[in-house]
Amino acid sequence: MYTKECNIFTRIFIIVLLLFLTGQPCVEAEIDFALIKKVEKDSLKYFLDYTPQKTGLTQDSSAPGSPCSIAGVGFYVAAVVVAAHNNWITKDNAYKRIKTVLTTFKKKVQGKNGFYYHFVDPRTGRRAWGSEVSSIDTALFIAGVLLAGEYFKGTQIERMAHELYENVQWKWLLSSSNLLSHGYKPESGILPYYWDSYSEHLILQALAIGSPTHPIPPSAWQEWNRFEEYVDGKRIIYTVPGPLFTYQFSHAFIDFRELYDLDINYFDNSIYATQANQNFCKRNAQHFKTYEDNYWGLTACLGPQGYKAYGAEPGNPIHDGTIAPYGAISSIVFTPNESFDALAHMYEKQKNRLYGPYGFKDAFNLDKNWYAREYLAIDQGITILMIENFRSQLIWKLFMNLEPIQKWIRLCGLRSKKT
């Protein structure tokens, strides 16, 4: 599937394009953009087929009886924007779909103080599985609708999106030590678990600090720990146990390339963490057939023994030979050549059992001869957003235009150069 026939001028153009999009040098750009686009477009079909038209509440997975994940809805809304931008659906269709989502959340979806339950019934919006009111899942939902508001600027969608955002009482889940809780359960109250170290919660922090109505203080940005470790000679601000999605989810919306948190650039940090993940798999190839065949991408996914937060160094790795395709693919803005090679390798070697009408399925494990049958909304969502950022930077451009995001950058002193 490689474009080896391209002449020297085409190769130079692609290399320059990659430098512009990612800021990362590449030696040789043998990337099949048609294949990348196919994976993105096929992944979109999941949202079109697993989102009830009457409510817009996307199923968490393709498994029968799956509830709706509100983070999945955030990815659905963003994916619809991507589809409209690429003319895969009409703008009118996109507008109607997103308005349905916003209306459903305004009238039906259960939650508390502007936050929503992690899982809800796709038909009624009522709490499902005894789940918690989730801070991070609410943030990912809000990120998606604010993105849609920016795309449909000056419309009812923008107004409704900002109303939902302004209703979130971020301070309610803030502890006395300026840390945000993971959530709340009516049976037991605010959860005693906090976003106290680097993770996907950067999007939560940005929205909470930038809120025009119920902001948390900017000092909260400095309260969480930046644990660091050197791997392969690179300093990494890490999350435990190192699943790749924690280095991806916030980056799907926020363009960190030119932002420095003192001497930390979180975009570079994700590059180093992604490379460490790949190298970890290589170092363990003698123990696992999956890694021996040059597959990589340890991240949260289904596995032979159920759902696990698989991860690599730094931190405390959890792994058993299970690979999630979205792990490598959604790192394409960080490691374009390596991520494309992984995508092409999985597509060519595992297509019959791993690839279907909605793109790549959740995960596989060659050691156990195990392949997931399900697709997961958040996996397909992060795949779409990261590929689109690689192709056009659409999500970054829209999201970084938002005043709350610019407010967060100003208040937290994030700068375009090291200080």
pLDDT in tens, 212-243: 999 999 999 999 999 999 999 999 999 999 99
- CATH class, domain 31-411, is mainly alpha
**Do residues 195 and 168 lie in contact, with contact meaning Cβ atoms separated by under 8 Å?**
no
Assess whether pLDDT exceeds 50 at residue 391.
Answer: yes
pLDDT (tens digit per residue) in 7-61: 434 444 444 454 444 444 443 458 999 999 999 999 999 999 999 999 999 999 9
Specify the 3-state DSSP secondary structure of 402.
coil
CA atoms within 13 A on the CB side of 413: 11
Specify the 3-state DSSP secondary structure of 404.
helix
pLDDT (tens digit per residue) in 57-104: 999 999 999 999 999 999 999 999 999 999 999 999 999 999 999 999
pLDDT band at 418 (very low <50, low <70, confident <90, very high): low
Specify the 3-state DSSP secondary structure of 43.
helix
DSSP 69: E
How big is the chain, counted in residues?
A: 419
pLDDT (tens digit per residue) in 157-198: 999 999 999 999 999 999 999 999 999 999 999 999 999 999
Going from N- to C-terminal start, the domains of the chain cover: 31-411
Assess whether pLDDT exceeds 90 at residue 2.
Answer: no
218 C-beta neighbours (distance < 10 Å), count: 17
Q: What is the mean pLDDT of residues 275-302?
A: 97
pLDDT of residue 14: 46
DSSP 221: G
Its pTM stands at 0.92
What's the rounded Cα separation, in Å, for the pair 418 and 48?
Answer: 43
Phi-psi group of 126: left, alpha or beta (phi > 0 → left; psi -120 to 50 → alpha; rest → beta): beta
Q: How far is CA 326 from CA 174, 249, 299, 301, in A?
A: 32, 12, 8, 9
- If you compute the radius of gyration of the chain from its CA atoms, what whole number of angstroms results? 20
**Do residues 216 and 168 lie in contact, with contact meaning Cβ atoms separated by under 8 Å?**
no
What's the rounded Cα separation, in Å, for the pair 17 and 63?
Answer: 39
**Do residues 326 and 382 lie in contact, with contact meaning Cβ atoms separated by under 8 Å?**
yes
pLDDT (tens digit per residue) in 104-137: 999 999 999 999 999 999 999 999 999 999 999 9
Assess whether pLDDT exceeds 60 at residue 6.
Answer: no
pLDDT (tens digit per residue) in 296-345: 999 999 999 999 999 999 989 999 999 999 999 999 999 999 999 999 99
Could you tell me the two tokens for 350? 């595992």
In the block, tokens 């359960």 appear at 185
